[in-house]
Amino acid sequence: MVRVEDFGNFETAWCPGCGNHSILKAVKQALAGLDLAPHQTLLVSGIGQAAKLPQYLHCNMFNGLHGRALPAATGARLANPRLKVFAVSGDGCNYGEGGNHFLAALRRNPDITLLAHDNQVYGLTKGQASPTTAQGQKTKTQPGGQPSVPLNPVAIAVAMRISLVVRAFSGEPDHLAAMVAQAAETPGFALVDILQPCVTFNKVNTFQWYKERCYMLGDDHDPTNWAAAMRKADEFGDRIPLGVIWRGDRAPFESLAPGRGTPLAEHRLDRSALEKLMDSFA
Amino acid sequence: MSPNAITILIGGEAGQGLATIGQLMAKALTRAGYEVCVTQDYQSRIRGGHNTFAIRTGPEPVYGPEEGMDILVALNQETVDRHAAHLKPGGMVVAGQKVDLDGHPGVQVPFTELASKAIYHNVAALGVLGSTLCGDLGILERLVSDTFAKKGQEVVDANLEVLRKAYHWFQAQDYSFHCLSPASEGNAADRIMLHGNEALALGALAAGCNFLSFYPMTPSTSIALTLIGKGGELGLVSEQAEDEIAALNMALGASYAGARACVTTSGGGFSLMVEAVSLAGITETPVVIFLVQRPGPATGLPTRTEQADLNLALYAGHGEFPRALLTPGTVEECFHLAHWAFDLTERYQTPVMVLSDQYLADQYCSVPRFDFASLPEITPPLLQVDELGTYQRYALSPDGVSPRLIPGYCEALVKVDSDEHDEMGHIEEGPANRTAQNEKRLAKASGLRAEVIPPELFGPEESDLLLLCWGSGLGACLEAVELLQERGHKASVLHFKQVWPLREDQFMPFLEGAKTVVAVEGNATGQFAGLLRKETGFAVQGAVLRADGYPLTATYVMQGLESWIA
């Protein structure tokens, strides 16, 4: 039986009050709830404050480059389909620097859970606009206000009908833990877009700002109804829905191509097949 | 170079089947026991344009292309207009009846008489060509049968009929072309024909490569095609990535999780991979990068050849970490160095790059069958460790190499980190740790240095003229040296099949023992000569450089050497 304590306790580099603390707690809770031991789990991250999460719990970790968590996670899944793989990073990493990889992951639908910490700002580089920063929001590098409209990753993911699209909030830790667990259990690509305050650099989208707007989706929302899911995905203003926005039935990427099953580390060279292969050049 | 070697140049538009005729002919020659070396020239388009497929062949080894030809197969008028002037004495043109030979010696083949449908014209051309060389009809028949077997007996029979008709048609012509000298006996049985990229792929598969991620880019794509086409049965997993950035990051994720991984690309794609090369360096994740060069900058000449990405590969990636650069000179070396690249990257856990170029990539050669049993066994990473609670991915060690565990097989955790990290793999920014980890990584360079493949010397150790080359420049230099020796010069070639790291003890005596050292490179600035000077202080006396998109040839080298051999 895996316990939350098995994932350890580490000193973090996060600000007090940062949403990352409760996201970390929720991840541990979810893993323990699924009875997933640290060595059965791989957390792949990019770069940023969110991407430091795998540093702070016992797990297998591939801390890669800014924006590149998803391709590395996809490679790991293809090499060993027995690993439970998470990609963990912030809005800038996933939706900006790694935008093309996000789109490709939506097309592939790999069995990966993407935990996208979405605080609508760049924290580690001290407060520049991120791909999800609201239009008109002023920052030190956009003193006249961010001229572009924010990306809606949830709507894009619903549009691509991936396996699971979830919106969560770091201020609702139990709900978040349940959502992470559901995402991890879903075969195929699961996006968990986690709203969180950046207490230091985002003075607009504060804890209070989210708290006032977020509400739980009820039984009246059917996440398998695509048009309804698109409407909920588009709801981001006075009210922001939390919960499973969309659940699809696309086959996971790994199941669609031959040869993807046995972990590649167990692959042994077949000399006679090689000889036969050489005959094709004679 | 054998005086008996001849060149057959097939020219036409893309889509006319010149590569099909060429491959069939080259394969027939290989099966007959001849040495074969093919140079392909094509343009960045799917139809039209002007492409050539040049087969140089003879009973003795052939090293590379020559500028003239003995037989010109003209699939269109443009081929005659462009190339017939370079026919060698005694040479001939083989063309269709609509092509004007423009006074050049040759035959006009009545293709519509020999073959009822246009789809048989390639086989008709093969029959005529085989006949001009006095080739064995039986070998051609077996080749045609093998080639069309999948399409059913009816198709095989129809093609065989055309082949025989065409073969006998030429025999009945009042035209004598000097037949190829007989191939050496016993040469035929154990030879295969493949091009440089196929040999790289075969070497990778022989090394147990089981993962490929790539983005298509000429002239590297045929490595990926071969790995996918031939490697599927061996369990290779592949993914065409969304871009080259994803390709290398994906390969690193796969390698971390237990795959033996590679990527294939050309200069532009490799430029995009550069940040991840650095990631491979700090995370100490094995990966082989096949970089098949074409002329830049930027899109440059997409289908032509150059050796101008040496500096890029040498310095790619921010920060300092060890690497090895392998540069095969022949199709056989492509196979062996691809295998060696996986061996090195697996043992030193740092990126290894194999640099080829369009010329070598597309160069079909007949070579002896590869001996898989003679290849060294590559040690796989660990799946289990004893010290479950204390395993450290980056444990310090005298040679810099730490035991590499694959995650998921035992309770020990594997943490790899793009940030500077402690022995466990956790982010750690202190100066003492930084120095220890940095030195650990760099210490692996000593092992790589100890295993450097020495450059190969052809000719006398003390020479009047030493041609210095690397990678695909070998063939042109070898042939040039034969010509120089015939003229009484004491000439040698020093060929580097590994250009990084460099070990002075392996080559300085040859450089210092030569009166004149001339660098021969397929680039405009002499990048390897520059590297040599930076590392050793040795300055070459001259350079023959080619950067017009075409491969180095003996003729080109000899022209460049004029002032030195006057």
**B258 with A280: Cβ contact below 8 A:** no
Indicate if the pLDDT at residue B566 is higher than 80.
no
Q: Tokens standing for B369?
A: 């069958």
- Is the pLDDT assigned to residue B61 strictly greater than 70? yes
Q: SS3 for B536?
A: helix
Residue B471, phi then psi, degrees to nearest 5 = 55, -135
Cα–Cα distance, A213 to A210 (Å, whole number) = 5
| Yes or no, beta carbons of A264 and B210 under 8 Å apart | yes
Boundary (domain end) residue, out of B327, B358, B374: B374
Q: CATH no. for residue B19? A: 3.40.920.10
CA distances from B307 to A178, B73, B535, B545 (A): 56, 30, 20, 10
Using a CB-CB cut-off of 8 Å, the residues of chain B touching A265 are 257-259, 380-381, 383, 406, 409
Please report whether residue B438 resides in a domain: no
User: Does B394 map to a domain?
Assistant: no
Instruction: Look up residue B528 and give its two tokens.
Output: 């390897």
d(CA B342, CA B349): 10
Residue B213 predicted with pLDDT over 70: yes
Is B514 a domain residue? yes
CB spacing of A61 vs B415 below 8 angstroms: yes
Chain A residues whose CB is inside 8 A of the B246 CB are 68, 70-71, 100-101, 104
* Closest residue in chain A to residue B364, using alpha carbons only: A281
Q: Are residues B151 and B11 in the same domain?
A: yes
pLDDT at residue B36 is higher than 90: yes
pLDDT at site A259: 61
Chain A residue closest to B256 (CA)?
A76
- Cα torsion for B212, B271, B305, B34, to the nearest 10°? -20
pLDDT tens by residue, B89-104? 989 999 999 999 999 9
Q: Could you tell me the CATH number of the domain that includes residue B327?
A: 3.40.50.970
Taking the C-alpha atoms of residue A137 and residue A144, their distance in angstroms, rounded to an integer, is 8
Residues of chain A contacting B252 with CB distance shorter than 8 Å: 64, 72, 75
The domain that contains B481 carries what CATH number? 3.40.50.920
Q: Residue B225 to residues A251, A260, B217, B328: CA-CA distances in angstroms? A: 26, 18, 11, 20
CATH 3.40.50.720 fits A4-279, yes or no: no
Q: Which residue in the set A70, A80, A278 is minimally distant from B408, CB to CB?
A: A80
Q: Which residue of B has its CA nearest to A80?
A: B257
**Nearest in space to B468 (alpha carbons), one of B447, B427, B499:** B499
Asked whether residue B403 is assigned to any structural domain, the reply reads no
Does B413 map to a domain?
no
Give the separation between CA A81 and CA A262, rounded to whole angstroms. 7
Q: Give a yes or no: residue B422 inside a domain.
A: no
HEC per residue, B168-183 = HHHHHCCCCCCCCCCC
Q: Do B183 and B200 fall within a single domain?
A: no
pLDDT value, residue B287 = 98
Q: Which of A52, A60, A63 sits opposite B408 (nearest CB)?
A: A60
Give the model's pLDDT for residue B148. 93
Residue with the bigger pLDDT between B65 and A275: it is A275
- Degrees to nearest 5, angle at CA B83 with B78 and B85: 120
- B80 lies in which domain range? 6-189
B254 vs A258: CB contact, 8 Å cut-off? no
User: In residues, how long is chain A?
Assistant: 282
- Bridge partners (DSSP) of residue B74 are B11, B95
Q: What is the mean pLDDT of residues B291-316?
A: 97
Which of A47, A60, A83, A108 has the most B C-beta neighbours within 10 Å, making it the best mutation to test the interface with B?
A60
Q: Please compute the mean of the pLDDT values over residues B432-456 and round it to a whole number.
A: 98
Q: Which of A52, A79, A271 sits opposite B257 (nearest CB)?
A: A79
Nearest-Cα distance to chain A for B156, in Å, is 18
Identify residue A83 by its one-letter amino acid code: L
Chain A residues closer than 8 Å to B232 by CB: 258-259
The secondary structure of chain A, three-state, reads CCCHHHHCCCCCCCCCCCHHHHHHHHHHHHHHHCCCCHHHEEEEECCCCHHHHHHHCCCEEEECCCCCHHHHHHHHHHHCCCCEEEEEEEHHHHHHHCHHHHHHHHHHCCCEEEEEEECCCCCCCCCCCCCCCCCCCCCCCCCCCCCCCCCCHHHHHHHCCCCEEEEEECCCHHHHHHHHHHHHHCCCCEEEEEECCCCCCCCCCCHHHHHHHEEECCCCCCCCCHHHHHHHHCCCCCCEEEEEEEECCCCCHHHCCCCCCCCHHHCCCCHHHHHHHHHCCC
What pLDDT was estimated at residue A262? 86
Residues B181, B197 within the same domain: no
Q: Once rounded to an integer, what is the mean pLDDT over residues B231-239?
A: 93
- Domain-ending residue, one of B142, B168, B189: B189
User: Do B417 and A63 make contact, defined as CB atoms within 8 angstroms?
Assistant: yes
Q: How far is B83 from chain A (nearest CA, A)?
A: 31
Of A65, A258, A278, Cβ closest to residue B279: A65
- pLDDT tens for residues B123-182? 999 999 999 998 899 999 999 999 999 999 999 999 999 999 999 999 998 877 768 888
Categorize the per-residue pLDDT at B472 as very low, low, confident or very high, splitting at 50, 70 and 90: very high
With bands split at pLDDT 50, 70 and 90, how would you rate the model's confidence at B1? very low
Nearest C-alpha of chain B: how many angstroms from A269? 6
A175-206 pLDDT, tens digit per residue, is: 999 999 999 999 999 999 999 999 999 999 99
Average pLDDT over residues A20-39: 97
Phi, psi (degrees; rounded to nearest 5) at B9: -115, 125
For residue B346, the distance in angstroms to the closest alpha carbon of chain A comes to 13
Predicted structure pTM score: 0.96
Q: Are residues B198 and B181 in the same domain?
A: no
**pLDDT score of A258:** 60
Residue B178: per-residue pLDDT: 67
Q: Are residues B365 and B271 in the same domain?
A: yes
Question: What is the tens place of the pLDDT at every residue in A193-246?
Answer: 999 999 999 999 999 999 999 999 999 999 999 999 999 999 999 999 999 999
**Crossing angle of helices A99-108 and B244-256, rounded to 10°:** 70
**pLDDT interval class at B2 (50, 70, 90):** very low
Most B CBs within 10 Å: which of A47, A85, A111, A277, as the mutation test of the B interface? A277
Helices (H), B501-552: 508-513, 527-536
Contacts of A52 in chain B (CB under 8 A): 427
Considering the domain architecture, whether residues B95 and B80 belong to the same structural domain is answered as yes
Contact B25, B6 (CB under 8 A): no
Instruction: Let me know whether B184 and B200 are in one domain.
Output: no
Q: Quick one: closest CA in A to B406, which residue?
A: A265
B221: confidence class by pLDDT, cuts 50, 70, 90: very high
Q: Do both B20 and B135 map to the same domain?
A: yes
Residue A2, amino acid = V
Say what the pLDDT of residue B3 is.
Answer: 59
pLDDT at B171: 92
User: Which pLDDT does position B65 carry in this prediction?
Assistant: 85
Q: Are residues B176 and B223 in the same domain?
A: no
Query: Total domain count for chain B?
Result: 3
Amino acid identity for residue B292 in this structure: V
Residues of A in contact with B202 (CB under 8 A): 277-278, 281
Mean pLDDT over the full length of chain B: 94
Q: Is B413–A60 a contact, with Cβ atoms under 8 angstroms apart? A: yes
Residue B348's pLDDT is what?
98
Domain boundary among B152, B169, B189: B189
Instruction: Of B322, B347, B482, give the one whose Cα is nearest residue B401.
Output: B347
Q: Is B56 helix (H, G, I), strand (E, B) or coil?
A: strand
Q: Convert the pLDDT of each residue in B401-427 to its tens digit.
A: 999 999 999 999 999 999 999 999 999
- Summarize the confidence of residues B383-400 as an average pLDDT: 93
pLDDT at res. A249: 96
B426 closest CB neighbour out of A55, A70, A275: A55
Alpha helices in B71-187 (DSSP H): 77-83, 111-114, 121-132, 137-148, 153-172
> What are the two backbone dihedrals, phi and then psi, of residue B543, each rounded to the nearest 5 degrees?
-145, 140
Q: Are residues B558 and B534 in the same domain?
A: yes
Whether B151 and B78 map to the same domain: the answer is yes
Local structure of residue B374 (DSSP, 8 states): G
One domain, residues B206 and B173? no
Q: Which residue of chain B is at minimal alpha-carbon distance from A69?
A: B249
- Tokens found for residue B36: 């074969």
Rounded to an integer, the average pLDDT of B28-44 is: 89
In single-letter form, the type of residue at position B78 comes to E
> What's the alpha-carbon Rg for chain B, to the nearest Å?
26
pLDDT tens, A248-270?
999 999 888 766 678 999 999 99
